[in-house]
C-alpha cells in the first residue's frame, strides 16, 4: 500500500491561485448545503505555552474527501529560519479508509487562506475596487496580494508591518509596485480593499480609518482572546464569516465586541457559502463596508488537497512511498 507524498514545491506548482479560488468557492457552497462534517478544531498546547498543535479533521461530500490537517504554531519562530505555522494534510480513501496522501500544508494553508479571501472579495467587494492595503508582511501577505490580483484590477498596493524591514522585504519581492507605509492608518486610509494578515493579538485596524465602500478580509487572528480589528470596525461592517460555529467559539474579532455589548449574534449576516448560494445578500450598496472574517476551516484544506492529489496523479508528481501492508485478499 503506497502513500503519495507531495512536497511544498509540488503543492505550489499544482495549486495555482486562480484554480484554488474556484475550488474553495465550491467547497464553501457544498458546506452550506449541509454536505460536510466539520468538527471544531482540537488544540494541544505545550506546557510552557511556547507552541501548540491544532487538529482539524473533516469530511466533504463534493468532491468526496476525508482527512485532517495537523498544524503546529510556534510564534517564537518569527525572525528565525522557520515559519510560525508548519503543518501537513492527510487524505484518506473514503471506501476502505487507507491513507492516500500526505502533503505539505504550510503551502496549502498559505494558498487556500488567501483563495478564500479571494472568493469573499469577488462576492463582496465593489467591482471597481483597485486600491489595496495589506497589514502584515509575511507569507499570507504575498498570497493575499496574488488572490486580490486574481479577482480585482489592482492598481495600487500599500503595506504596513510592525517591522519596517519586513515590509520592505515584502515590497522588494513583489511582482508589482508596493508602497511601504510608516503606519497602519496611512496604509488603510483611502483603500477600498484591506487585508489584515498579522499575528497581532490587539487591533491593528480601526474602523474610523475605513473609507465608505471598503471591503475587509480579516485573516490573521484565530483565537478567542486575539483580534486584528477594533470594535468600531466590526460594528460598522456587514459581517460575513466562513463558519458560524467556529466564529462563535474561536473568533476574538467577533467575541470581544460581543462581550463589550457592541454587537449580538445577529450581527453575523451569514456564511460565505450562503452568499455564494444566493441565500444571503452580500453587499447592499456601493458605500457599505463589508467584512469577511476568516478562521480557516478543514474543508478548505481537504478541497485543496483533493485537487492537488488529482493533479499529482495525472502528472506523475510527488513520491509514492510504501507505508502499510498490502491488502489481504479473501477470495
Q: What is the pTM of this model?
A: 0.92
Mean pLDDT of 115-138: 97
Distance of alpha carbon 168 from alpha carbon 232, whole angstroms: 29
In this chain, the answer to whether the domains covering 2-108+298-322 and 125-293 adopt an identical fold is no
Class of domain 2-108+298-322: alpha beta
Helix (H, G, I), strand (E, B) or coil at 151: helix
Percent of the chain with pLDDT over 70: 98
| Residue 213 scores a pLDDT above 90 | yes
Q: Which helix (H) or strand (E) holds 149?
A: helix 139-151
| Residue 226 scores a pLDDT above 80 | yes
| Residue 328 scores a pLDDT above 70 | no
Mean pLDDT of 316-322: 93
Domain map of the chain by residue range? 2-108+298-322, 125-293
Q: Which residues contact 152 (CB under 8 A, 6 or more apart)?
A: 121, 122, 125, 129, 130, 132, 193
CA dihedral 216, 254, 221, 47 (to 10 degrees): 180
- The fold adopted by the segment(s) 125-293 is Rossmann fold (3.40.50)
Output the average pLDDT for the chain: 94
pLDDT score, position 85: 79
Distance of alpha carbon 77 from alpha carbon 95, whole angstroms: 39
Cell numbers for 207: 474602523
Percent of the chain with pLDDT over 90: 87
Amino acid at each position: 500500500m503506497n502513500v503519495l507524498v507531495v512536497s511544498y514545491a509540488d503543492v505550489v506548482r499544482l495549486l495555482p491561485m486562480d484554480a484554488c479560488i474556484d475550488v474553495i468557492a465550491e467547497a464553501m457552497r457544498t458546506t452550506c448545503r449541509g454536505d460536510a462534517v466539520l468538527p471544531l478544531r482540537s488544540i494541544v498546547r505545550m506546557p510552557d505555552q511556547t507552541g501548540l498543535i491544532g487538529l482539524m479533521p473533516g469530511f466533504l461530500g463534493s468532491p468526496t474527501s476525508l482527512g485532517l490537517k495537523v498544524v503546529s504554531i510556534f510564534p517564537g519562530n518569527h525572525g528565525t529560519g522557520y515559519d510560525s505555522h508548519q503543518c501537513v494534510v492527510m487524505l484518506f480513501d473514503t471506501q476502505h479508509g487507507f491513507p492516500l496522501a500526505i502533503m505539505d500544508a504550510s503551502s496549502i494553508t498559505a494558498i487556500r487562506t488567501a483563495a478564500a479571501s479571494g472568493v469573499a472579495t469577488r462576492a463582496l467587494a465593489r467591482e471597481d475596487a483597485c486600491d489595496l492595503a495589506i497589514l502584515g508582511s509575511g507569507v499570507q501577505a504575498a498570497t493575499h496580494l496574488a488572490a486580490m490580483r486574481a479577482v480585482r484590477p489592482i492598481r495600487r498596493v500599500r503595506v504596513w508591518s510592525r517591522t519596517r524591514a519586513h515590509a520592505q522585504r515584502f515590497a522588494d519581492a513583489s511582482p508589482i509596485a508596493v508602497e511601504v507605509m510608516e503606519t497602519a492608518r496611512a496604509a488603510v486610509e483611502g483603500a477600498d480593499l484591506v487585508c489584515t494578515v498579522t499575528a497581532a493579538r490587539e487591533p491593528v485596524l480601526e474602523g474610523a480609518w475605513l473609507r465608505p465602500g471598503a471591503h475587509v478580509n480579516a485573516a490573521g487572528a484565530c483565537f478567542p482572546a486575539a483580534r486584528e480589528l477594533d470594535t468600531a470596525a466590526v460594528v460598522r461592517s456587514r459581517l460575513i464569516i466562513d463558519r458560524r460555529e467556529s466564529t462563535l467559539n474561536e473568533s476574538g474579532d467577533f467575541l470581544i465586541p460581543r462581550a463589550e455589548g457592541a454587537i449580538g449574534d445577529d450581527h453575523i449576516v451569514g456564511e460565505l457559502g450562503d452568499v455564494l448560494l444566493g441565500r444571503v445578500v452580500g453587499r447592499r450598496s456601493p458605500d457599505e463596508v463589508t467584512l469577511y472574517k476568516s478562521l480557516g476551516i478543514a474543508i478548505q484544506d481537504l478541497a485543496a488537497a483533493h485537487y492537488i492529489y488529482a493533479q499529482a496523479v495525472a502528472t506523475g508528481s510527488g513520491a509514492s512511498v510504501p507505508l502499510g501492508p498490502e491488502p489481504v485478499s479473501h477470495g
